[in-house]
Amino acid sequence: DIQMTQSPSSVSASVGDRVTITCRASQGISSWLAWYQQKPGKAPELLIYAASNLQTGVPSRFSGSGSGTDFTLTISSLQPEDFATYYCQQANSFPLAFGGGTKVEIK
């Protein structure tokens, strides 16, 4: 099974900051990686698919990069509505697996 390791587990940041979250797969997954945002009490929402493709309707301040084992989600200028938990998910093989999540908190 493929393990996904996300870092950091939490980050404190201010509005306007650039935030970078990394996700590492235990083996190569090509570009089969997605990123989700989850707010408390709500279902996750897709941000990025295939490692770097922005889902329709997602603000352009979100971007994804990487392939193989190392991936990055970047929020270029943090907005108040971006304070949430972010998860990566590999889709290369079953079982599908998520990273442990990164909570983005207000500094």
Partner 1 sequence: EVQLVESGGGLVKPGRSLRLSCTASGFTFGDYDMNWFRQAPGKGLEWVGVIRGKAYGETTEYAASVKGRFIISRDDSKSIAYLQMNSLKTEDTAVYYCTREAVGAQLDWGQGTLVTVSS
Binding-site ranges for partner 1 (CB under 8 A): 32, 34, 36, 38, 43-46, 49-50, 53, 55, 87, 89, 91-92, 94-101
- Tokens 């193989």 correspond to 68
Q: How far is the CB of 54 from partner 1 (least distance, A)?
A: 12
Q: Do the Cβ atoms of 87 and 6 come closer than 8 Å? A: yes
Q: Which amino acid is at 69?
A: T
Q: 82 or 89: whose CB is closer to partner 1?
A: 89
Pairwise CA distance, residues 8 & 45, whole Å = 20
Provide, rounded to whole angstroms, the least separation between the CB of residue 34 and partner 1.
4
Identify the CA nearest to 73 among candidates 24, 39, 26, 106. 24
Compare residues 75 and 88 and give the one whose CB is closer to partner 1: 88
Q: How far is the CB of 42 from partner 1 (least distance, A)?
A: 8
